[in-house]
Amino acid sequence: MNNDVIQSTIDFAKCELAKYESGHDWYHTYRVWSVAKKIAEQEKADLFVVELAALLHDIADAKFHDGNEEIGSIVASKFLKLQNVSFEIIEKVVYIIRNISFKSEGIEKSKKTIEFQIVQDADRLDAIGAIGIARAFAFGGFKNHKIFDPEIPPALNMTKAEYKNHKSTSINHFYEKLLKLKNLMNTEAGRALALKRHKFLEKYLEQFFEEWNGL
Ligand code: ADP
Ligand code: NI
């Protein structure tokens, strides 16, 4: 029965995510799901909850719904009810979807369920490394942001409201968010993967600025 639910969740996610730009589409979800399963191998976690939460975590992103941060959990919970998933599992999945975004860093690690920690790590890993770089420029292009502008300094330490309305450059986003992610990992396996991807970001930036300066 669990396998059937996973399959229909995949179909649902593919269909729902078809309308999003390429950094946020089904393949982002597919990668988060794959990495989450990999991290879960190293942890004592409920794999069904991890998989469902990974597959549904971006189902209705607030960024594309006028900042409505509740809509994702409402859509996910409705869908899972229709699949006859138990109330207990739905609750665990919805808790993850509701709390996963970078903006809700507020929750202390000790209060996060292990399933949440895994999916959050997997989501963050997709924002760094080679894929993370591609996503940053895809998102920046979508928002009409510049690649880089030396006259726009990165805005560090923003409040939640400032972060949401902030118009910066894609390269600044590396300093505002991406380079911070490796220190925010929850799990050991997530941290190891993050370190490798973080080094790649640093190498990329080094070369970017060499080329920017005509070297
Ligand atoms: P999540 O997948 O956790 O929902 P976000 O919605 O914050 O992540 O961002 C989706 C992707 O777009 C990430 O790869 C992120 O780095 C990128 N992104 C978000 N905001 C910006 C920005 N201002 N400039 C460039 N890339 C961004
Ligand atoms: Ni995501």
DSSP line for 45-62: --HHHHHHHHHHTTTT-G
Q: What is the mean pLDDT of residues 13-41?
A: 90
- Residue 156 has a pLDDT of 79
Higher pLDDT, 183 or 62: 183
| Residue extents of the structural domains in the chain | 2-212
Q: What is the mean pLDDT of residues 33-53?
A: 98
Instruction: Please count the other Cβ atoms lying within 10 Å of the Cβ belonging to residue 172.
Output: 21
- Residue 117 has a pLDDT of 97
Question: What's the rounded Cα separation, in Å, for the pair 137 and 67?
Answer: 22
Minimal CA–CA distance to 138: which of 1, 36, 38, 25? 25
Q: What is the mean pLDDT of residues 170-183?
A: 96
- Class of the domain covering 2-212: mainly alpha
- Cα–Cα–Cα angle for 27, 30, 36, rounded to 5 degrees: 140
Question: What's the rounded Cα separation, in Å, for the pair 126 and 113?
Answer: 20
Q: Is 22 helix (H, G, I), strand (E, B) or coil?
A: coil
- Residue 102 has a pLDDT of 53
- The protein residues having their C-beta less than 5 angstroms from ligand 2 (an ion) are 58, 123
Task: Evaluate if residue 62 carries a pLDDT over 70.
Answer: no
Do 56 and 77 contact (CB within 8 A), yes or no? no
Residues 99-158 pLDDT 10s: 986 555 667 777 899 999 999 999 999 999 999 999 999 999 989 999 999 999 888 777
Percent share of the chain, pLDDT over 90: 73
Looking at the CA of 17, which ligand is closest?
Answer: 2
Q: How far is the CA of 212 from the centre of ligand 2 (A)?
A: 30
For ligand 1, which residues put their CB under 6 angstroms from it?
23-24, 58, 61, 63, 101-102, 123, 127, 132, 135-136, 139-140, 145, 168, 170, 173, 177-178
Q: Is 57 helix (H, G, I), strand (E, B) or coil?
A: coil
Place of tokens 């929850």: 186
Question: Which pair of structure tokens corresponds to residue 157?
Answer: 């330490």
